[in-house]
């Protein structure tokens, strides 16, 4: 009996000795899903049970790198292909300065005790890993925007993602510059685009259209209109536009393609998109980490959501080369 008491005391002592800042970060990440995830059933996942399991794992973590890895694994339990937890280092590399939202609840800052493991927050512990350490962890590297001129003064625009502001800025500068010359039309290639952030989608759309093409259906705020950015004025170009899509176009990229089609601004060539149109809101964590949370579902104004259905092309074509050839054919027609 005495041995059991000693073991229990040791276990309890381990929990009590857990870095309070680690647990504070866990509570923030877990609560975001519990209260603000778009699906109240959490896609059938018992989120409280998941929380109990990961809370104990975070409590025994030995570094901030381990904490963030555990939180990201916890979000993977949702299985939505959107929600993620990024460490400060990952957030800087992936988002490249993209804006994030403040946490939608009060944040209690836990002050580290002298000599505690939490000292690694300020770099006072030389052997402790922090979220800012360069590590061997694989961090996604996003392709850059690119373009090239094809035959008949047709401009091919490759948009590989909608993750950060940089991609929208590059597109805007390119179109504004090229549109001043002889351009017959544009091909916007969204194939294999995983999507990204709603406001980046809205800025890219603003290059070609203006107005209010979307609504975002959220759990906490109901239905919110999503305008293009900017909302008023003329778009940067009125040249003919063809958009290439396939079954691996997701999220905000589907919303972009759908808006361009419904407005009559573009013809879509390729295959039906994935039908995975959850809207990701980025939330800032106190140390620079970012929670990417699927907080709503994207839908056109006055029509059902694309979730589970996808965006259907105007011209169905299989194969990368055949799709591009068809787009050129459409724009080259008299």
Q: Is-contact 298 254, C-beta < 8 A?
A: yes
Q: Is-contact 205 226, C-beta < 8 A?
A: no
Same structural domain, 171 and 294: yes
For residue 20, the 8-state DSSP code is H
How far does Cα 106 stand from its chain's mean position? 24
Question: Which residues are bridge partners to 149 per DSSP?
Answer: 155
Q: CA torsion sign, 305 to 307 to 309 to 314?
A: positive
Closest CA to 58 of 100, 24, 23, 8: 23
In a domain, residue 153? The reply is yes
Same structural domain, 241 and 150: yes
Q: CATH no. for residue 186?
A: 3.90.226.10
pLDDT of residue 2: 46
Distances (CA, A) of 78 to 60, 66, 276, 296, 334: 23, 20, 14, 14, 50
In a domain, residue 306? The reply is yes
Q: CATH no. for residue 41?
A: 3.30.750
- Full domain range(s) for residue 54: 1-79
Helices 20-36, 47-59: inter-axial angle, 10-degree rounding: 170
Annotate 132-176 with DSSP letters as a single string. TS--S-----PPPPEEEE-GGGEEEEE---BSSHHHHHHHHHHHH
Same structural domain, 152 and 65: no
Same structural domain, 75 and 152: no
How far does Cα 204 stand from its chain's mean position? 15
Distances (CA, A) of 26 to 90, 112, 273, 283: 17, 16, 35, 14
Same structural domain, 229 and 311: yes
In a domain, residue 48? The reply is yes
Contacts for 289 with CB less than 8 Å, ≥ 6 apart = 25, 68, 85, 86, 87, 88, 90, 91, 131
Q: Looking at the 3D structure of the chain, how many domains does it have?
A: 2
In a domain, residue 24? The reply is yes
Question: Which residues are bridge partners to 298 per DSSP?
Answer: 216
User: β-strands 154-158, 146-149: how paired?
Assistant: antiparallel
pLDDT of residue 220: 83
pLDDT in tens, 65-113: 999 999 999 999 999 888 999 999 999 988 876 788 999 998 865 444 4
Instruction: Look up residue 160 and give its two tokens.
Output: 């590989």
Please list the rounded mean pLDDT of every run of 10 residues in the chain (334 residues).
Answer: 42 58 97 95 96 98 97 96 94 82 81 40 38 52 91 97 94 97 97 93 98 92 93 97 98 97 98 93 94 94 93 98 98 94
């Amino acid at each position: 009996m005495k041995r059991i008491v000693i073991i229990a005391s040791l276990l309890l002592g381990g929990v009590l000795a857990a870095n309070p800042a680690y647990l504070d970060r866990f509570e923030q990440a877990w609560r975001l899903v519990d209260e603000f995830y778009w699906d109240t059933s959490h896609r059938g996942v018992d989120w409280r049970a998941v929380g109990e399991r990961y809370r104990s794992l975070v409590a025994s973590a030995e570094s901030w790198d381990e904490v963030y890895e555990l939180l990201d694994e916890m979000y993977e339990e949702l299985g939505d292909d959107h929600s993620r937890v990024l460490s400060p280092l990952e957030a800087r590399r992936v988002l490249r300065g993209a804006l994030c939202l403040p946490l939608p609840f009060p944040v209690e800052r836990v002050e580290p005790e002298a000599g505690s493991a939490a000292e690694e927050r300020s770099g006072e512990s030389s052997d402790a890993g922090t979220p800012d350490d360069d590590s061997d962890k694989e961090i996604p590297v996003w392709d850059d925007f690119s373009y090239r001129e094809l035959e008949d003064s047709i401009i091919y625009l490759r948009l590989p993602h909608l993750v950060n502001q940089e991609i929208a800025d590059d597109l805007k500068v390119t179109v504004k510059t090229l549109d001043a010359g002889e351009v017959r039309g544009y091909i916007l290639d969204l194939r294999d685009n995983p999507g990204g952030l709603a406001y980046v989608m809205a800025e890219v759309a603003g290059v070609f259209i203006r107005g209010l093409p979307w609504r975002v259906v959220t759990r906490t705020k109901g239905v919110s209109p999503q305008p293009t950015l900017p909302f008023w004025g003329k778009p940067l170009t009125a040249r003919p536009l063809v958009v290439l899509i396939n079954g691996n176009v997701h999220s905000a990229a589907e919303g972009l393609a759908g808006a361009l089609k419904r407005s009559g601004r573009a013809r879509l060539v390729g295959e039906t998109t994935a039908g995975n149109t959850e809207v990701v809101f980025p939330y800032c964590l106190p140390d620079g980490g970012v929670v990417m949370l699927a907080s709503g579902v994207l839908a056109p104004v006055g029509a059902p959501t694309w979730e589970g259905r996808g965006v259907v092309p105007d011209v169905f074509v299989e194969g990368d080369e055949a799709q591009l050839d068809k787009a050129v054919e459409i724009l080259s027609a008299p």
